[in-house]
Structure 1
């Protein structure tokens, strides 16, 4: 049995004074154990053990993510021995993971578990290099005034990094081909679409600078949310951007991080600008099964996120709030799954219901809009 490497898990809180980090527990991950299954695939087993929590704190969800350094290696099957409901994501992708628990405040009775991936490894690859991250959703003591538990997100700040030699003989039995999943296989992903309000006011040199600031602030917001920017698929179009985030993200951490990160990035981008140059942006988030094709992406989420970005309620929300630089819209599904539960520092009451209704395009969807004043 491999030795375990412990790490602190910390909770981050964003405020006007900066980010505060508080250790709440520990987690330990063992070096991956590798062997070959009956189909000639490499089977990777990762062992995880959780430390003690602070008094009256408890786990409600866990998310174990693995990133492969070599994009020629692909997972074709994932499973987990935990004794609780488990969902997997990222089949066929270089980043994949296991989600234990659910989007609620029910206690997760897990102290240790093993996660297994069957990997398709082509000839000529002799080493497996992986980065392992663990995130957790936690609830603390009951609030003194109302009987509610605040859901917090804890993460390991520094990933576990392992480099292991692969088994030398990976030949599959004759007549049993290895199943592979192409990287373009449709998977559930978060999508982000954004544009700049009143972009036409800029002359060409101003527009070029505005585009650069716009791209930089969106990239910064994703990085502040803990998203690996190198794994984001971005399509830029002047005053707009469409981004498909990588698979295997913990939405209970990424969505609060994006909301806070967009505000921080906008404040930095606009810090030394006058009212004419100041960027005010609209942003839409959506989630769904989408896949890459030669001319872009296919899937209802890729369409819906643009419909919401171009919606009258979102445009009106920003136009009628002159002290705001951001208007964010999310579908009802994301609101109910993540925002309504107050993950991170999200305040559900700061989101207001709206209906995106575009009958000429056959599109109607309930949504929620957030307009934070600067």
Structure 2
């Protein structure tokens, strides 16, 4: 059922010679693995039980500002995003689990994977990941809890891929498998496993890729999601390799900021690209205005969100209000530009523009470890639990005139806001209780809708 066809550097996947460009790379049937043997014998028949639309991969060239040699003389790195949408299932059926598999061509391998291993999405989807430092990458999305439903649309995965100097394109093959569930008589569930009929090849020429808006920092200041660099050539190749013998990375008390874009998965591809650009530019500018050195912070991209682990020793009473003021100003400016652009194009409409960006933010402090594929520690877990919680989402939804809603952990609120530091008035904060029984998590947070001073 597998097609071993793969692109070579001489191949082209469209876009030239007058061919119409499409955001869709391919549509594939999902065929059941439990085939039926026809009467009278013969090969098994595998029926179609669903489908998937594979988006054309998006790629950005990542340039190291400290290296000016020609690309032909050195390895290069690319951020590659793989979007896909599953077909809606009829008759009460739904997806319970989906696995996206990317087989990179010989010589290519992943320096980072996003979503990262152990990620829990805002809707409760649990994501397991495999392939760091390898050619074969795999993301498995599991429905939350027992009997949960996996949302079929707006799925994506991305990786930072290293390409050898001898190559001119990022190439590989995409396949997908899924488990569907259907209720039957008696309250039981019928599970069926399926996979795409064949692997879909893709090819992206390095010469055609966009350059990332912001170049990567030097390896010494890379985020933990890219922490593979110091030992990437020393990783054992055996499948029996056990990492448990490695020394525990040190833990330091750090101030953490996490942000997430509202309704990101409902946007089209072009809007997602724009939103990620706004997110990164706004964060970098906010750090600059607040006196935070970007290169000294731990950074972990989340696609529609971002984790910033501030350097030790920052003056929190000054930095926190500076960051929040700059974030709200940056969002207001981005939305004003988007609104002006749409008005000039004659596409203005009532209410907020479809291209506008609103965010949730969460602040917390605690012990953080720099692990192999992301930042680890109960403080980071609590930070994202609060960020993705129902009360924080509710307050943003109930504040249509505000671009940012910020949640402080209870301890940070008591340290900064409740003591009356300048720029951190307690006015407007709402105390909320957050409880996620399935995760055995409970916390108190203080939430406030915010906008820039220029907006009034």
User: TM-score, normalized by length of structure 1?
Assistant: 0.50
Going by fraction, where is strand more abundant, 1 or 2? 1
Larger Rg computed on CA atoms = 2
With normalisation by structure 2, the TM-score equals 0.41
